[in-house]
Structure 1
Amino acid sequence: MAAHYAISPAEDDAVIRQRLLTRTTTTRGEPPLKKLIKKFTALAGEVEKEDSKYTECEKLYRSLLQELATFELPLLKTKAVIDANRREQDSFKELHVELNKQIAQAQRDIEDLKVQLEEAKVERQHKEECEAIRKSIAAQSARSVTQKQLNDLEKELVQLESENYAASRTIELRKKQFGLLLHVVDDLQATLDDEQKNPLDYEAPELPALPTGESAEGAEPMVVDS
């Protein structure tokens, strides 16, 4: 059900403005400004009369002053309210400017904090990497132990190189002995062949000597299976 109003909402502003101008607080009764005009007109009319009485004029004058005081008091109150509203409006403007400054400063602080946050993330990542490296280093053996192991490996390497050199010399000597042995076998075979052909003219050839001295040092005698 639609609501019914004595005054439509569209007329509210005009009514309020009119009431403020005429100092009328209700829709009933005579407006104060109209009453003031009537009292002023009555006083002026009484003064202009030829047979006007001083007592009546004074009475109308006092009534006019009383009405003026009554009309002036709300005006003074309204002026005080207007001044207070203006001061409050100026205060709100200053507060608005201050709030805008604080908002701008807060935005700058937020940007600075974002940069600091990124730097803190990078620093934390570096710390985590350093901690991982530290744990990896701590898991390794001590320097003295590592150095001892390295020295042992170097000694073992020197020993292996020495053994390799000795083995190489032994193999070389065995090659020479084996070659000499093959040569001796060939000579013996040739001698046997000659002996079978000319048994009376045969003279035993001299066999070459096996390697001796420094070249045979450390070499074991070669055993030939019969």
Structure 2
Amino acid sequence: MTSAEDDIIKKRLLIEGDSGNEDRIINKLIKNFVKWTNSFYAENGILNEEENSENLYEQLVSSLGHAEFGLIRNQFIVEMNKNEQENYKMLYEKISNEIEKAKKKIIENKAELVEARKIRKNRQEYDVLAKQILNYPDRREMQETIKNLEAKVESLKKAECDYDRKIDLRRKQFSVVLQSLSSLKNLIESDTNIDEYLNQIEMHDDAHMSKSRIKKDQSPETNEEMDEDTKQETHTKRDKYSIPEVEMEES
């Protein structure tokens, strides 16, 4: 049954319901039935042609047919309404199921959206980190740089050991120098006594030289021996008060 036929039937039902056509058919059926029964008890047994028993019977059958048709039609309408209710119920259930599926799908899509946003955020962070990593040298260059730095560190450690050894040596040498300076200080403090002593030695030498010149003419050989003895004695006395030399270790 098409939608156009449904519209026609609905329109006719509305018209008949508004005009009370069903009640009229039933009333007409009852009226014809009463006329038909009364036709058997009519006075003098004489009836009009329009009111004879056969015509009344035909009218009664016609009214009964209309009533039966209306009943069958109403039954079909009721059945159709039931079918429509079932269809609407099934459609309602289908729509409800679709709504539930849509809700579940929406929840799943929300979860997927959250996951997609997370993945997008991770990708953006990855891109930023990748750009930062690209600014640095590659792994091989970094390893070469590390090896070179390690070699430099080892060289610096070796140089540090050498410098420590030299510093220790210089410390020892400086200690010796300090000791020498201390000895020199003591000698400087006694310079006055040494000068006086040397002056006395020179005066004694001068006197001795004068005596030697006087005796020169008498014995030249003896005088030369005495001069040698005097020089040797003077040298020995000066060595006694000389400053000791400090041995310095070369680096």
Provide the rounded CA distance (Å) in 2 between the counterparts of 1:57 and 1:88: 45
Provide the rounded CA distance (Å) in 1 between the counterparts of 2:55 and 2:186: 183
**Which of the two has greater helix per residue?**
2
**Which residue of the partner structure matches residue 44 of structure 1?**
37
Instruction: From the CA coordinates, give the structure whose radius of gyration is larger.
Output: 2
Contact 2:35/2:56, CA 8 A, preserved across alignment: yes
Amino acid at match of 1:150: I
* SS of residue paired to 2:247: coil
Contact 2:22/2:70, CA 8 A, preserved across alignment: no
**Which residue of the partner structure matches residue 165 of structure 1?**
161
Q: 1:154 aligns with which of 143, 150, 155?
A: 150
Contact 1:43/1:57, CA 8 A, preserved across alignment: yes
* Change over 3 Å in CA distance of 1:153–1:36 after alignment to 2: same
The one-character-per-residue Cα deviations of 1:79-129 (angstroms, maximum 9, x if unpaired) are 333322221121111111111111112111211222222222223333333
Deviation for aligned residue 1:58: 1.9
Q: How does 1:1-226 map to 2 (within 5 A)?
A: 16=17, 19=20, 21-22=22-23, 31-49=24-42, 51-52=44-45, 56-197=52-193, 199=197, 203-204=240-241, 207=244, 209-212=246-249, 216=250, 219=251
Amino acid at match of 1:48: Y
Provide the rounded CA distance (Å) in 2 between the counterparts of 1:39 and 1:98: 52
Contact 2:32/2:60, CA 8 A, preserved across alignment: yes
How many residues end up aligned between the 2 structures?
A: 192
Provide the rounded CA distance (Å) in 1 between the counterparts of 2:147 and 2:163: 24
* SS of residue paired to 2:148: helix
- TM-score, normalised to structure 1's length? 0.69
Provide the rounded CA distance (Å) in 1 between the counterparts of 2:91 and 2:151: 86
Contact 2:180/2:246, CA 8 A, preserved across alignment: no
Amino acid at match of 1:19: G
Identical aligned pairs, as a percentage?
23
* SS of residue paired to 2:184: helix
- TM-score, normalised to structure 2's length? 0.63
Backbone CA RMSD of aligned residues: 3.0
Deviation for aligned residue 1:44: 0.8
| Mean Cα deviation higher: 53-62 or 34-43 | 53-62
Contact 2:26/2:67, CA 8 A, preserved across alignment: yes
Amino acid at match of 2:87: S
* SS of residue paired to 1:210: coil
The one-character-per-residue Cα deviations of 1:116-146 (angstroms, maximum 9, x if unpaired) are 2222222333333333333333322122211
Provide the rounded CA distance (Å) in 2 between the counterparts of 1:147 and 1:102: 62
Provide the rounded CA distance (Å) in 1 between the counterparts of 2:72 and 2:183: 154
Contact 1:43/1:60, CA 8 A, preserved across alignment: yes
Deviation for aligned residue 1:20: 5.8
Contact 1:46/1:57, CA 8 A, preserved across alignment: yes
Provide the rounded CA distance (Å) in 1 between the counterparts of 2:122 and 2:71: 75
Contact 2:36/2:57, CA 8 A, preserved across alignment: yes
Amino acid at match of 2:140: S
